[in-house]
Amino acid sequence: MGILDFLSGQFIDVIHWTDDTRDTMVWRFEREGHEIKYGAKLTVREGQAAVFVHEGQLADVFTPGLYMLETNNMPIMTTLQHWDHGFKSPFKSEIYYVNTTRFTDLKWGTKNPIMLRDPEFGPTRIRAFGTYTVKVTDPRLFLTEIVGTDGEFTMDEISFQVRNIIVQEFSRVIAASGIPVLDMAANTRDLGKLVAGAIADTVAAYGITIPEFYIENISLPPAVEAALDTRTSRGLTGDLDAHMKYAAAEALRKGGEASGAMGAGLGAGMGMAMAQQMANPWGSAPTAAAPMAPPPPPVEHVWHIAESGQTKGPFSKADMGKMAADGSLSRDTHVWTPGQDGWKTADEVDELAQLFTVMPPPPPPA
């Protein structure tokens, strides 16, 4: 073996990359003067892709495997530049390794509340957050559109842009879904699929995809949550008057126990007096001959109508009667009034079903 053959063998490059980080997406193989020996060995492991850039022009993309950098493995490189000396001299190129595995446990969330119209609460605001994963699917496009000449590109450098895309599409999808706020927790999976589909085309232009997208929580503002808790608690108390009497007597009893026997007797007497006062709020002792107070006037309901996915209203009962007369309101029309449990058809509501019995039925055939 001649000395030239020996030196040629000693300077054969071995090009590979092992990554011990969890956020590196692209890493450039560093070589003095960017000179790579003809015949060098290129190792591309599973979960990687190697991109050749020659004199600023992207040449080849290598998938997992072991390659000898020769003309039979690099036909595009051969057309870019004719290598002298039988293709045995070093050539100046850059090799970028692209991580094609999934980057997991990435966080997203809404910076500001999202405004939407809820069928039950009306205009309201919500916040949401969750996780997602990112995977490079087109190393060539990702390198040209995002990375450029960055020698070490990490997930943090693109996560901000991806989060902005997610929040924008989430806001649009959630506002157009028409799902009530109280039902969103049961539909987070379907909402996640809608959002993932909405952002797929945008991120595909970067050479990446989002294979997994999760909505972990959708929450209301604290004031609305407090009002909702109060409403739920009020529903659990049942008879509000009896509950208030019991609460007042219980509070006085506990106060009497803390102050001794005298306090207990005083507390019991005050509890009985307060219970009597709550039973007779006008302060006069009830007698058999005393006239009963008239009942409160009936509450005039206002109604909302759902047609073709849109909500109209509110309408008074007189308006509903006119609509029933001219045919724009039918028995199958969905209606809702405050205090009603969900949407119902007009003939399921006794107050509205009467509107359809006022008009005479169609005349019999001649």
Class of domain 303-358: alpha beta
Contacts 24+ apart (CB under 8 A), 345-350: none
Q: What is the pLDDT of residue 43?
A: 92
Q: What is the pLDDT of residue 160?
A: 92
pLDDT along the chain (366 residues), means of 10: 43 80 90 69 93 83 87 51 46 85 93 85 88 95 90 92 92 86 85 91 94 90 78 65 73 68 51 57 53 72 84 85 84 86 85 73 67
Q: What is the pLDDT of residue 4?
A: 44
Q: For the domain 103-224, what is the CATH code? A: 3.30.479.30
Q: What is the pLDDT of residue 103?
A: 95
Q: What is the pTM of this model?
A: 0.56
Does residue 314 have a cis peptide bond before it, meaning omega lies within 30 degrees of 0?
A: yes
Per-domain boundaries in the chain:
7-99, 103-224, 239-277, 303-358
